[in-house]
Amino acid sequence: MKQPNKFKIGIIQLSFSKNPDDNLNKAVKWIEKAADKGAQVICLPELFRSQYFCQSENIDYFDLAETIPGPSTDAIGKVAKKKKVIVVVPVFEKRATGLYHNSLAVVNTKGEIAGIYRKMHIPDDPAYYEKFYFTPGDLGFKSFETEFGNIGTLICWDQWYPEGARLTALQGASILFYPTAIGWHPHEKKEHGKAQFESWQTIQRSHAIANGVYVAAVNRIGLEKENKDSAGIEFWGKSFICDPQGIILAEASHDKEEILIAEVDLNRIEYIRRNWPFLRDRRIDTYGDINKRFLK
């Protein structure tokens, strides 16, 4: 497949309601906006069909899951075909009865599903009880060849792991997309909020630098409470796109719905990798222990 040396990406930072249909309709409208702004590859936030339900363990929330293909990929497939764009569509996937994943589908310009990625690293932290809902991914790390370029897709908690970024980049991805749902516990924000956010941004910029790729992290915004008595999570937004040197090309606010547009330039990747040849100098003959949990 012949691909251009440059293509434009768009990431969409949004807030979400408790109504899945409203969220899907909203996403479709914002995809159209991003396409009209020139985006050719577009990414939505993690689990965009709902508010972030993993704040508690509740079996009723499994009713939010859907199949792939299903309602989300069908609706977004139509707008992708209409606008001739690629869309990264995060999905709470019902794979089988009692088997669920935190997944995404890559929908191509024909409105078809070009591939699926299932979140590999599943967290279990206060108000992020994802292990209750999601089976770890079993498809491995993925780079998808599209009409515009090779794109890598990971999901939220994956963004903290250099191994996932490296294995995706080694498959030829020119950009790593990280659809995300991350925020502050309100009672921690004053003391730890700045450091938490900066750690999140720094680790992802480091993936760009270490692998010589672009990185796009797309988060949600808003304070989401499961009920009036819960503290909730204040999602910090700040979606961003950086280049292979870790330079931030576009950055959103903490609290506004926004579209970020940036250009992926394969010549820029070539230039950075020639000057910082980290892939060349890797000692792959010495890394055998990386697949061990601990070395003591």
Q: What are the residue numbers of the active site?
A: 46, 119, 156
- DSSP H or E segment with residue 88: strand 86-96
Contact indicator for 224, 232 with CB cutoff of 8 Å? yes
The residue written with tokens 């010589």 in the block is 212
Q: Is 85 exposed, middle or buried (0-12, 13-18, 19+ CB in 10 A)?
A: buried
- DSSP H or E segment with residue 36: helix 20-36
Q: Is 65 exposed, middle or buried (0-12, 13-18, 19+ CB in 10 A)?
A: buried
Distance CA 4, CA 177 (A): 19
Q: How far is CA 23 from CA 14, 96, 163, 192, in A?
A: 9, 24, 33, 31
CB atoms inside a 10 Å sphere around CB 42? 32
In sequence order, what E strands does 139-232 have? 142-145, 150-153, 175-179, 183-184, 214-218, 221-224
The residue written with tokens 């720094």 in the block is 202
Contact indicator for 216, 11 with CB cutoff of 8 Å? yes
Q: If you ran DSSP here, which 8-state letter would residue 142 be given?
A: E
Residue 283 φ/ψ region, left for φ over 0, alpha for ψ in the -120 to 50 degree band, beta for the rest: beta
